[in-house]
Amino acid sequence: MDWYQTLFELIDMRSFSNLWFWIVLAVVWSTASHWVLGVPYDMVLRARRHAGQAEVDLEDMVRINVNRLLYIGRVSGLWLLGFGCFFLTLLVLMGFVYGMEFAQAVFLLGFPLSLIGLLSLSTARLIQVEEAAGDLLHKRLMRHRLYTQIIGMISIFVTALWGMYQNMTIGALGG
């Protein structure tokens, strides 16, 4: 019985008071801002600084990822949108109507990431339509990263406020 108690103390379903949730939140947003359309941001910086083969590599990698994203969007975009909306609605109902803290935490992670997904599709479409290369490609990727970071900062702020509210409310009620 002691083993189960120890395990459930380590993996607490009260997400906002759990250190693991905050670690996951930080890792998710640092990863989301590092990978711009599936391309590591250091590759964009290297291409800007050194051009040549680094630029060719960047353009090839962006072309591959843009084509992949747009293909997925064309083939199964409506299904993914439908399932995504269903899943987010389910999380809102379970989390905010029925008060399940774990669902609230997953929603506060998932909703902003779904916005990043839509932003990625929009940026990929722009890159393909403009046939972006060189400085224009760098500009698009850097703007995408900036918007991702802005969404991430807002998301972390809202999540922190909601988490503090939850912790104070549950703490005041006695757990």
The confidence score (pLDDT) of residue 20 equals 86
Please tell me the predicted confidence (pLDDT) of residue 172: 62
Could you count the other beta carbons within 10 Å of the beta carbon of residue 84? 16
Is residue 153 included in any domain, yes or no? yes
- Look at residue 1 in the predicted model and tell me its pLDDT: 59
Number of domains present in the structure of the chain = 1
At 36 the pLDDT is: 92
Q: Is 51 inside a domain boundary?
A: no
Residue 116 domain flag: yes
Q: List, run by run, the mean pLDDT of 10-residue segments along the chain (175 residues).
A: 65 73 94 94 92 92 96 95 97 94 94 97 95 91 96 96 87 60
pLDDT of residue 16: 81
Nearest to 141 by CA among 58, 60, 70, 67: 58
- Structural domain boundaries, residue 85: 69-160
pTM: 0.85
